[in-house]
Amino acid sequence: MNTPIGVIFLIAGLIIGPAYYTYVRFFTGEIVATQTVSFQQKSGKLLFDPIQLQLAPEMNDVGLIIRIDASHGPLILSSNPPKNKYHAIVSDGTNVLVDIHFSSISPAVDSTPSVSFQEALPLFKVNQTGTYQLKIAVEGETEMQILKADVQVRANTKQPNMTIIFTGIAFLAAGILAILSA
């Protein structure tokens, strides 16, 4: 009897928690620009060119989504998948609005996998209309070859409601407990 209820709680928890969070962070607001991110190899290091963004206060909260397509050779050990580490900074020339480190880790085990990643940077507000800059840097060695990258600018993006996310987590926990107690 507890197993069907547990499955229902798990499904509800997935929808209320992770699915809601993903929807809010990646799909709310309006796409106002998509800019290609240029990059080059220099002295064996991958370098991204800075991206100039035209932003205005009526766009608040601003959301940036970095999208990267990459590839790598076959995995030798699936317990140590290839990953690239990045550091992204958004500034107005004087003030840093976003400073975040993130990684892209390949889940693919094909012989020549091609994978796509998306990273939603923390939402931020702009105080005045102007040119803002996004700088992306690779930290350490690149284990995957970057094929292409772009940044999507979203205006009027919503912040996830943490009460809804915690409710989803509670449903997930209740579902797991119900299944385990069966």
* Average pLDDT value for residue range 8-30: 89
pLDDT value for 88? 96
Confidence of residue 34 (pLDDT cuts 50, 70, 90): very high
Confidence of residue 40 (pLDDT cuts 50, 70, 90): confident
pLDDT value for 107? 78
Q: What is the DSSP string of 11-31?
A: HHHHIIIIIHHHHHHHHSSEE
* Average pLDDT value for residue range 163-179: 91
When comparing pLDDT for 143 and 60, which is higher?
60
Confidence of residue 179 (pLDDT cuts 50, 70, 90): confident
> HEC states along 73-125?
CCCCCCCCCCEEEEEEEEECCCCEEEEEEEEEECCCCCCCCEEEEEEECCCEC
Say how many residues make up the chain. 182
Residue with token string 């091609």: 114
CA-CA distance, 180 to 178, in Å (whole number)?
6
Selection from 32, 25, 28, 29 nearest residue 152 by Cα: 32
What sign does the CA torsion over 84, 116, 53, 40 have?
Answer: positive
Under the phi-then-psi rule, with left for phi > 0, alpha for psi from -120 to 50, and beta for the rest, what region is 19? alpha
* Average pLDDT value for residue range 27-35: 94
Residue with token string 């292409």: 148
pLDDT value for 132? 97
User: pLDDT tens across 135-147, in order?
Assistant: 999 998 888 889 9
Displacement of CA 171 from its chain's centroid (Å): 24
Residue 30 exposed, middle or buried by CB count within 10 Å (0-12, 13-18, 19+): exposed
Is 60 exceeded by the pLDDT of residue 1?
no
When comparing pLDDT for 90 and 5, which is higher?
90
169 SS3 class: helix
User: pLDDT tens across 68-115, in order?
Assistant: 999 887 766 667 788 899 999 999 989 999 999 999 888 766 666 788
